[in-house]
Amino acid sequence: RAIEADLQQAIEAEALVLHYQPQRRLRDRRLVGFEALLRWPHPLRGLVPPIEFIPLAEQNGMIVPLGAWVIRAACAEAARWPGEQRVAVNLSPAQFRHGDLVHTVADALARSGLSAHRLELEITESLLQEDPEDVVALLRDLRGLGVSIAMDDFGTGWSSLAHLWRFPFGKLKIDRAFITDLACDPKLSAIVATIVGLGRILDMTVVAEGVETEEQARILAAEGCEQGQGWLFGRPMPAEAARRLSAEEW
């Protein structure tokens, strides 16, 4: 309960922060975007990672105002990047059920002046499992604003293939689970190659998550995977550092 009250207070005080992790084109390592990742600087607990408070915020409904803040903050920050890279924001299923997500996104774009094509919304497969028709309609409305939609953690849910044809995602993010042992097991590179082929046919950009080694990056590039995100290409970093990187790699 103590943590719940603390979190409520932190959200109201806008005391949470976003860190930004680089996303790079594998071919030439060009910086193409950043994923915004929420952090909670807690006076006693230090920098609390999202796994420790997002599930709580999802249970008690705080994720709706918190998620709206994340969208506004990420758009405002990205609007300041000299390199005009894209920003990706994670969405929880509850943000689709409650609150006016389309209005929230449109408002964040209008307030920040960020071009819609520079905003990417990451959703997970679990969202599509719930109520596909309604969700697909909402995703289309979001696309209508000019933003793109990425399927996060691709390959870990079980509705993935069933829903791919229903909705034109701009991007598939291959889950880290397939990348970790990529260099050790040819079965994993076969899976990656299959996802890359699927992305090509469906006209979706494929991004590998959790890329930690040059060997993994080499295999991914050889398989035709377009982009990568992971410690090899940059750790999640505070806003000021991301802004500097954006300028340096313009």
Cα–Cα dist 242/159, whole Å: 34
Q: Closest Cα partner for 60 from 122, 118, 3?
A: 3
Which residue's CB is nearer to Na ion, number 163 or number 243? 163
CB 117 within 8 A of CB 146: yes
Q: Is 120 in the site for Na ion (CB under 5 A)?
A: no
CB 64 within 8 A of CB 91: no
Q: CA-to-CA distance for 77 and 35, rounded, in angstroms?
A: 12
DSSP, res 234:
-
Residue with tokens 């309960």: 1
**Residue 120 beta carbon to Na ion: minimum distance, rounded to whole angstroms:** 13
- 73 vs 123 by CB, closer to Na ion: 123
The residue within the footprint of Na ion, chosen from 77, 120, 152, 223 (CB under 5 A), is 152
Nearest CB to ligand G, comparing residues 155 and 210: 210
Three-state secondary-structure class, residue 237: strand
| C-beta closer to Mn ion: residue 40 or 154 | 154
Show the site string, 189-218: x = touches Na ion by CB under 5 A, - = not.
Answer: --------------------x---------
Q: Whose structure tokens read 């990672």? A: 49
Give the footprint of Na ion on this chain (CB under 5 A): 152-153, 209
Which residues contact Mn ion (rule: CB under 5 A)?
90, 122, 152
Site of interaction with ligand G (CB under 6 A): 21, 37-38, 49-51, 54, 67, 70, 90-92, 152-153, 176, 209-212, 230-231, 236
